Amino acid sequence: VNPDALADQHGADAVRLFEMFLGPIEQSKPWDTQGMSGVVGFLKKAVRLVEKGHDGEASTEELRALHTLIDKLQRDVETLSFNTSVSAMMIAVNAWGGLPQLARQTLRDFAVLLEPFAPHSAEAMWAELGAQGSVVLAPYPILLPEYLVKDTVLYPVQFNGKTRFQLEMPASASAAEVESAVLAHERTAHFLEGRTPKKIIVVPGRIANVVG
């Protein structure tokens, strides 16, 4: 397959990302260009983020998405897991897309992260953000581990092994606090149908299982 026609239609960056997104590099993969629209849409969303840029301080939420991405890319690139790298960037862009504004420094850091995968789009973002020089020469963003710590945990609540609903709790909540919250939840009474649970098994940060 000659990729030149695809590059003429969608751009070289889209073809690069599409090939990386097909699957693990060590596995053979069927050539199916139906997935091209997904990476084209991702690049358009990424470039449009520039419109949200402001010169103020970055929010905790946007920094959490940024440093989660830095951490993921550093680990994935070492193992040549480019498909999951692209997926991680898509997740970050979707998260930022839901925010009303983004600090320009966050967007500049993202452009540096994007550059090895989509150099033309990253260079365009870099220029639109008013950054000096080329994105290729910019220092790689430094990972700040404190932004990898989540404030809350979403517990799947199971009844005899079947997940019935999810409960958001502070990440610092103890097993006893999670158990109390599960018992107090209105849906717990519905699924127990008047029965008293034999026990509640809580795996901190992971799951809660009500044994009826």
Judge contact between 195 and 159, C-beta under 8 A.
no
Residue 96's pLDDT is 97
The pTM score is 0.72
Q: What is the DSSP letter of 197?
A: P
pLDDT in tens, the chain (212 residues): 788 888 999 999 999 999 999 888 888 878 878 778 899 999 999 999 999 999 999 999 999 999 999 999 999 999 999 999 999 999 999 999 999 999 999 999 999 999 999 999 999 999 999 999 999 999 999 999 999 877 788 899 999 999 999 999 988 899 999 999 999 999 999 999 888 999 999 999 899 999 97
Alpha helix positions (H), 36-174: 36-48, 60-78, 82-97, 104-114, 119-128
Backbone angles phi, psi at 145, to 5 degrees: -60, -25
Per-position b or e across 56-74, b if 16+ CB within 10 A of its CB:
eebeeebbbbbbbbbbbbe
Which residues, listed in sequence order, are joined to residue 166 by a DSSP beta bridge? 156
Q: What is the DSSP letter of 199?
A: E
CB-based contacts of 146, cutoff 8 Å, min separation 6:
none
